[in-house]
Amino acid sequence: MGSTLIRGGTVVNADAAVRADVLVRDGVVAALGDGAGWAADEVVEATGRLVLPGGIDVHTHLEYPIDGFTTRTADDFHSGTAAAAHGGTTTVVDFVKKEPGASLRDSYLRRRDVAAAKSFVDFGLHAIVPPRDQQEDVLDDLRLLAGEGATSWKFFMAYPGTQMVDDGQLLEGFELAAEYGVLPMVHAENGHMVERETRRLVGSGRVSESFHALAHGHDSEAEAVHRAVVLAESAGTPLYVVHVSSARAAEEIGAARAGGARVWGETCPQYLAVAYEDYAGLGERAAAYVCSPPIRERANQEGLWRALQTGALSTVATDHAGFCMEQPDDLPPQKLRSPGYFPKVPNGVPGVEDRLMVLWETGVRTGRIDMCRFVDLVATRPAKLFGLFPRKGLVAAGADADLVVWDPEADHVITAAGSHLRTDYNLYEGMRVTGRPVHVFSRGHHLVNDGALEGGPGRGAFLTRGAPHLF
């Protein structure tokens, strides 16, 4: 593999931003500093631009089966990782769910191979822990998976009857995670509370799409976060809470952290930059916004920003789970499979391509966070928590040359038509942003060059992740 000199830029890491040339050789960063005397096969001019570590999106659902495998998300590892690359994300960590008739571990090995054949960027897989009645010996599989790179396990506290695990199984799984040095993750919503609210809404005829948000109250999220933190402390494990949407839930995490609990929270761009008010009046079209936990009222957003500022929340990932609004012939039923009835809308929204631009625009450009904090939220902290640091998540000699040359002056309008996803709509349609990736490198390979994707599917590598770095 050749060498590349990225010249004249400002290197931004989570701890500092410094003027430095970057020499890339054999897929890794070979040197940082004054490159006046350095020679390379390719020179990329970065004067006036920033050099960031590639984005790490630790929460995606590509070609992901839902609702008992009756449908799946629209983007596969091909379109999803191509779009990720265009948006400056060079690593995704997706999920494996136990397939019917197969063990969790067999499902993991199969999904790893499927993704490896299609991915443009490096990827890992979190293991979703199925309820005990779906696989009795699942703890045996989890022990094996911990040694095979799945050093994070996700537990659902929502979706009773299909995915929800009870407190007994949470405690047992958390204890095993503590023993094996694995980071447990929770989808924190009280599934029984959501089910009860859903029944009440349906019973009174309030079934159109936007009622989804009312079924998933702040209280059900805050309760589940609180319970998960208590159970994790009791089992002696650190904990990661995915997709925190409610400012109340974020406050639960902040309070726990202030008390010394080893808990980290993630939020997503859709909770920061989109609001219930944006879709409440859209009728069936509100299906485009349906995800769990829901996109909440605008007044909730400031609390999430505050949590990102104080450190109550630690990462921004997408929970990318894109479904189409128009039904394609080659996909199972998508967003409008049961129009006018919120309980049947597939849950999930797209965003893997937009994450960095949306957070830059709404966070850095508004002065809510600085660019070092931005890097920490989208790359460094995710790399640490999910066993990829210091190979990834920073720009430093010896690290993978997963790099983004970011133009902080470039204007762009986000649209579905201009995106690289299979999903046929964009939550941020029409948003004007200033600041976008212009070059993206994946292990030294010039993957996106001024908007053009260079490199085939299948060059992304499966990442056998190590133990979490909890500092």
Which residues contact Zn ion by CB under 5 A? 187, 319, 370, 372
Tell the smallest beta-carbon distance from residue 454 to ligand URP (Å): 31
Least distance CB 260 / ligand URP (angstroms): 28
Taking the complex as a whole, how short is the minimal distance between the CB of residue 170 and ligand URP, in angstroms? Answer: 16
Site membership for ligand URP, residue 188 (CB under 6 A):
no
**329, exposed or middle or buried, with CB in 10 Å at 0-12, 13-18, 19+?**
exposed
Nearer to ligand URP, 20 or 290 (CB): 290
Question: For residue 8, how far is the Cα from the chain centroid?
Answer: 31
In a 3-state reduction of DSSP, which class is residue 175? helix
CA distance 108 to 125: 8
Q: Which of residues 269-298 bind ligand URP (CB under 6 A)?
A: 291-292
Residue nearer to ligand URP on the CB measure, 40 or 287? 287
Q: Pairing relation of β-strands 28-33 and 263-267?
A: unpaired
Q: What distance in Å separates the CA atoms of residue 48 and residue 38, rounded to the nearest whole number?
A: 20
Partner from ligand URP, Zn ion, none binding residue 334, C-beta < 5-8 Å depending on class? none
Q: Least CB distance from residue 238 to Zn ion, whole Å?
A: 19
Question: 426 or 442: whose CB is closer to ligand URP?
Answer: 426
Cβ-based nearer residue to Zn ion, 73 or 442: 73
Q: What are phi and psi of 355, to 5 degrees?
A: -55, -50
The residue of the chain with the least Cβ separation from ligand URP equals: 347
Whole-angstrom CA distances from 9 to 34, 48, 51, 152, 411 are 11, 6, 6, 35, 19
Using rule CB under 6 A, residue 128 touches ligand URP: no
By CB under 6 A, tell whether 348 contacts ligand URP: yes
In terms of Cα–Cα distance, which of 183, 317, 310, 200 is closest to 240? 183
Query: Exactly one of 78, 187, 226, 391 binds ligand URP (CB under 6 A); which one?
Result: 187
The label of the residue with tokens 């605008």 reads 298
Among 7, 25, 49, 61, binds ligand URP (CB under 6 A): 61
**DSSP tag of 310:** H
Which residues of 69-172 form beta strands (DSSP E)? Answer: 71-72, 89-96, 122-128, 152-156
Binding at 325: pick from Zn ion, ligand URP, none (beta carbon under 5-8 Å per type): none
Q: For residue 333, what are its two tokens?
A: 């039923």
Structure tokens at 335: 């967003």
Minimum distance from CB of 159 to ligand URP (Å)?
8
What is the binding site for ligand URP (CB under 6 A)? 61, 187, 291-292, 319, 321, 347-348
